[in-house]
Amino acid sequence: MAPGFAAAALLPGASFAQRALLSKDRLIVRSGRPEDLETPAQLLNSWITPNELFFVRSHFYTPIIDASSWRLQVDGNVENVLILTLDDIRRMPAATITATLECAGNGRAFFDPPVAGVQWRKGAVGTATWTGVRLADVLYRAGVTANTRYVWLDAADQGIGAAPDFIRSLPIEKAMQRETLLAYEMNGEPLPVSHGFPLRAIVPGWEGAYSVKWLTHLQASTRDHDGAFVQAGYRYPRKPVAPGTLVAAADTVPLRDMPVKSIVTAPGPDAMVPAGVPLTVAGFAWAGEAEISRVDVSTDGGGTWQPAQLGRDRARYAWRQFEYVWRTPAAGLHRVLSRATDTRGMTQPAVPAWNPAGYVWNGIDAVAVHAGTAVPQRAADPAVAPGGDSALLNARCLICHDAELIAQQRLDAAGWEREVSKMIGWGAPVTGAERERLIADLVRLFPAHRPVAP
Ligand SMILES: Nc1nc2c(c(=O)[nH]1)N[C@H]1C(S)=C(S)[C@@H](COP(=O)(O)O)O[C@H]1N2
Ligand SMILES: [Mo]
């Protein structure tokens, strides 16, 4: 654990420099270190999300990779082990797709009771045009054997402390699909460092964690990977559970494609608009591997619904823009909602099923619109602890995490206890005597159960 923490101390400067390079400074910093950045929904206003606005989700510190010495190794159940340079990969036939990428935890902040994890609201989603090689072409070139069932994807990032390595396992059917890529370009530019330079997977329609960044190693296997990011993370209860229930890993199944969802991006939250003047309500809708068949908008809090118009830009795995012109907003406060339906016949629920890790929030979206009235002040989100300071927390937690990642949690004592135990398991240097004090400080400093509404 000690070497990991020591190395960590070197990295904040590097991650800051990368952010400056990409000027990600309009994004919401859910965590600066590791880098978790959310796009404010009102900045999502084009079918293609510019690289500077694209959300970032990284579990660990961003690896800085020298492209000339970087290699991709392909081994396991193959006839020829491959060790490919970036040039080798760029010389293979190129493929380009436009695909939406969404983090499984997008919308986690809306779950009640709260669950631990990055408290994403609406903006852990974006759409880019990705260029690379088909994963299938690489696997054919390696002579992948017929009994292969999974491809394990491993990358250059390393667990902080004793945290497990980020390795994902992709079923062979999805790996062989022609749209599944190993991408080296994003929106016509070399893949930015934060998004996986020099090479990342793009697994369109599936939750974002399959799209492994900073790839270094593909392994073909007859079995699923047994690491924590396959057997514990990115899983969903097999059967519905009562909110707040803990679920054993054996009672879960892996998440794969994403459910139907839409977000309103214009007007922005708590917008003040003139009364009696037409207002365009706009946003995006997507549905994993399915297509959007319709989006409906309500301007009266869900009492009545009108069909929105779908944008002309489309691609098999990309979101659709939608637009609805609201003719005459009367003076007063309105709740404007969007609700998408997909070609599977699925529609967004009012409140999605609660699950222990807070995945796949796809509730009907809502924004408050104030027509012709003054905007009421909303309390700002606490960025840091309101209730004082904890030397123990500073010394034991902030060596790896930024304060805001801790402050955004909405956990009770039992929730903090689980998180602290997990972190101790992952190498946080907390002694037995400190453990209880640390949990007490977290409970005192960060009030539990602050509800967050869309
Ligand atoms: N190596 C590596 N790949 C990774 C991750 C990571 O932490 N390490 N995060 C995953 C998750 S959870 C998501 S949602 C997407 C986010 O991609 P982005 O940061 O380019 O938006 O990357 C995935 N690929
Ligand atoms: Mo994610």
Domain map (residue ranges) of the chain: 16-254, 261-371, 382-445
> Residue whose CA is closest, atom 5 of ligand 1?
58
Q: Do the domains 16-254 and 261-371 sit in the same CATH topology, yes or no?
A: no
Q: Kindly state the average pLDDT of the residues 264-277.
A: 92
CA of 208 to the centre of ligand 2 (A): 5
pLDDT, tens only, 316-358: 999 999 999 999 999 999 999 999 999 999 999 999 999 999 9
CA of 370 to the centre of ligand 1 (A): 37
The Cα 136–Cα 405 span in angstroms is 38
pTM (2 decimals)?
Answer: 0.87
> Residue whose CA is closest, atom 19 of ligand 1?
56
Are 130 and 204 in contact, with CB atoms under 8 Å apart?
Answer: no
CA of 17 to the centre of ligand 1 (A): 19
Under CATH, to which class is 261-371 assigned?
mainly beta
Say whether pLDDT at 397 is over 90: no
Residues with CB under 6 A from ligand 1: 54-59, 101, 103, 155, 157, 166, 195, 208-209, 211-214
What band does 383 get if pLDDT is binned at 50, 70 and 90?
Answer: very low
Q: How far is CA 333 from CA 209, 232, 274, 368, 409, in A?
A: 38, 43, 12, 7, 30
Domain 382-445 of CATH type 1.10.760 = yes
**Coil, helix or strand for 355?**
coil
Q: Which contiguous run of DSSP H or E holds residue 284? A: strand 279-286
User: Which residues face 254 on adjacent strands?
Assistant: 235
The Cα 385–Cα 35 span in angstroms is 20
For ligand 2, a single-atom ion, the residues with CB < 5 A are 57, 103, 208-209
Give the mean pLDDT of the chain.
90
Closest atom of ligand 1 to 215 CA is: 1
> Residue whose CA is closest, atom 1 of ligand 1?
213
What band does 310 get if pLDDT is binned at 50, 70 and 90?
Answer: very high
Q: Kindly state the average pLDDT of the residues 438-452.
A: 83
Say whether pLDDT at 121 is over 50: yes
Report the side by side order of strands in the sheet with 292-298. 271-273, 365-371, 332-342, 292-298, 306-307
What band does 389 get if pLDDT is binned at 50, 70 and 90?
Answer: confident
385 or 429: which leads in pLDDT: 429
Which residue type occupies 201?
A
What CATH fold (topology level) applies to the domain 16-254? Sulfite Oxidase; Chain A, domain 2 (3.90.420)
pLDDT, tens only, 11-37: 344 444 443 356 898 999 999 999 999
What band does 270 get if pLDDT is binned at 50, 70 and 90?
Answer: confident
What band does 384 get if pLDDT is binned at 50, 70 and 90?
Answer: low
Best probe residue, ligand 1, of 213, 225, 229, 230 (max atoms within 8 Å of C-beta)? 213
Sign for the CA dihedral angle at 205, 267, 58, 236 comes to negative
What band does 373 get if pLDDT is binned at 50, 70 and 90?
Answer: low
Say whether pLDDT at 10 is over 60: no
pLDDT, tens only, 233-265: 999 999 999 999 999 999 999 999 999 999 999
Closest listed ligand to the CA of 104: 2
Best probe residue, ligand 1, of 56, 58, 184 (max atoms within 8 Å of C-beta)? 58
